[in-house]
Amino acid sequence: MTKIRWGLLSTAHINQKVMPAIRNSHYGELVAVASRDEQKARAYAKEYRIPLSFSSYEAMLASDQVDVVYISLPNHLHAEWMIRAMQAGKHVLCEKPFVLTIKEMDEVTRVKQETGCKILEAFMYRYHPQTQQVIELISDGMIGDVEIVEGVFQFPLKDAGNVRWNPQFGGGALWDVGIYPLSYAQLVMGEPPIQVFGQRKLTASGVDETFLGQMMYTRGRQAQLRSSFSLPYETRLSISGSAGRIIIPRPFHNMEDHRKICRVDASGKEHWISIPRFDLYTGEVDDLNRAILDNRDPILSLEETRNHLRTLLAFYVSAEKNRPVALDE
Ligand SMILES: NC(=O)c1ccc[n+]([C@@H]2O[C@H](COP(=O)([O-])OP(=O)(O)OC[C@H]3O[C@@H](n4cnc5c(N)ncnc54)[C@H](OP(=O)(O)O)[C@@H]3O)[C@@H](O)[C@H]2O)c1
C-alpha cells in the first residue's frame, strides 16, 4: 500500500507527541519538516531522522513529495496556513483552536469545499478508548439522563515569553485549555449550548489568565468549565445524570498516568473501569489517514469544530459584557 506522506509545518514542541503517531500509523509516514529558518529545519530533520527539510513553509507546500501537513503554529496563523496548504492541494491536520474568527472559519470551509481537501481539528482525546468508553456508558443508560458536565484544565504557565500570553497570537487560557472541557461537553451533550456565561481574570496584556464558564443547553442541561494559566496543574471531568455519575481523572491528556474512570451508581457505589493502553495521538492521525484513503469526512466533523468556535466566541462576548449571551448574539 502507498503510504500517505506527512510534513510538519513548523518545529513546535507539540510535534514531539505527534511524530510517533505518524510514524506508528499503518497508513502514513513522516517525510518532511519545514521551518522559517533553514538551519533549524535541517538540524530538526537530522535530530528526528526526517528525510526532507524545507527552509520555508511555502517550499514544503510546493513539494510534490508531501500529501498532508500537520499545522502546529501559534493560533493566529492556523487559518492562513490551512488555506495556503489546501490551495497547494495538501490535506491538513491543524492544532486546536482551529481558527479564531467566524470569518476565518467561513474562508477555511469555502477553500475546503473548493479543493476537496480533507481537514481536521487536532483533538486527540476524542479518539482515545477512554472517551469511547465514557460515551458508551452514557448511551447504554448507565447514568440515566445527562444533566451536568463539569470540566477543569489548568496549569501554571511560567514562561513569560510564551505566545499564549499574547492577545495578538490568540492567547488566553480559554483558547488554549478551556477549549478541552468545552469540546468534551459538546461531545456529551451532542450539540452546542444555547447560551453561555463567562467570567475571567485578565492579565495586563489583555488575555484571560483564568476563565470560568457556564453553558446552558436544551432541556435544562448545563455544563461548567474552568481553565487557567496561573493555578496548579489539574485536569478532570465529571458527568452527572439522573441515575449516577462518571468521574474521569484524566479526560484530555496524560491518560497513561491514570487509565481508570469511575462510574458511581444511584446508590453511591463506585465501579472503577480500567482503560486499555493507547497512544493518545494515533487516533487523530489515523482518522485523517482513513478519511483520505476512503474519501470520507473525518469523524470529528467541521460542524463540530465550528460549534467549538461559536461557543468560545460567545464566552468572550459574555465576559466582556458581564452577562449571559446566546450563541452568535
Ligand atoms: N493537542 C495538544 O496536545 C497540544 C499541546 C500543545 C499545543 N497545542 C497546540 O499546538 C500549537 C503549537 O503549540 P506549541 O506550544 O507546540 O508551539 P511552539 O512550541 O511555541 O511552536 C510554534 C512554532 O510555530 C512556528 N512559528 C511561526 N511563526 C511564529 C511566530 N510568529 N512566533 C512563534 N512561533 C512561530 C515556529 O516554528 P519554526 O520556527 O520552525 O518556523 C514555532 O516552533 C498551538 O496551536 C497549541 O494550541 C496542542
Residue 167 within any structural domain of the chain = yes
pLDDT higher than threshold 90 for residue 1 = no
CATH number, residue 134: 3.30.360.10
Amino acid 258: pLDDT: 87
Answer yes or no: do 253 and 159 share one domain.
yes
Concatenate the DSSP letters of all residues of 32-76 into one string. EEE-SSHHHHHHHHHHTT-SEEESSHHHHHH-TT-SEEEE-S-GG
Phi first, then psi, for residue 297 (nearest 5°) are -80, 150
Quote the domain boundaries for residue 187.
125-279
**Lining residues, ligand 1, CB within 6 Å:** 10-14, 35-37, 40, 72-75, 77, 95-96, 122, 124, 163, 176, 253
pLDDT higher than threshold 90 for residue 257 = no
Number of Cβ atoms within 10 Å of the Cβ of 1 = 6
Give the mean pLDDT of 199-210. Answer: 96
Give the mean pLDDT of 32-38. Answer: 98
- Run of H or E including 14: none
Answer yes or no: do 100 and 181 share one domain.
no
In percent, how much of the chain has pLDDT > 90? Answer: 97
C-beta separation of 89 from 112 below 8 A = no
C-beta separation of 94 from 170 below 8 A = no
pLDDT higher than threshold 90 for residue 302 = yes
CATH number, residue 8: 3.40.50.720
pLDDT higher than threshold 90 for residue 38 = yes
Answer yes or no: do 180 and 68 share one domain.
no
Answer yes or no: do 116 and 179 share one domain.
no
Amino acid 269: pLDDT: 97
CA of 265 to the centre of ligand 1 (A): 42
Give the mean pLDDT of 267-271. Answer: 97
Amino acid 2: pLDDT: 83
Residue whose C-alpha cell is 491518560: 255
More confident call, 221 vs 328: 221
* Non-local CB neighbours of 118 within 8 Å, separated by 6+ positions: 91, 92, 288, 291, 292, 297, 298
Ligand 1 atom closest to the CA of 34, numbered from 1: 40
Amino acid 275: pLDDT: 96
CA of 328 to the centre of ligand 1 (A): 29
Number of domains in the chain: 2
Amino acid 49: pLDDT: 98
Answer yes or no: do 286 and 199 share one domain.
no
Answer yes or no: do 16 and 55 share one domain.
yes
CA of 164 to the centre of ligand 1 (A): 10
Answer yes or no: do 251 and 148 share one domain.
yes
Q: Can you give the pTM of this predicted structure?
A: 0.97
Give the model's confidence band at 328: pLDDT under 50 very low, under 70 low, under 90 confident, else very high: confident
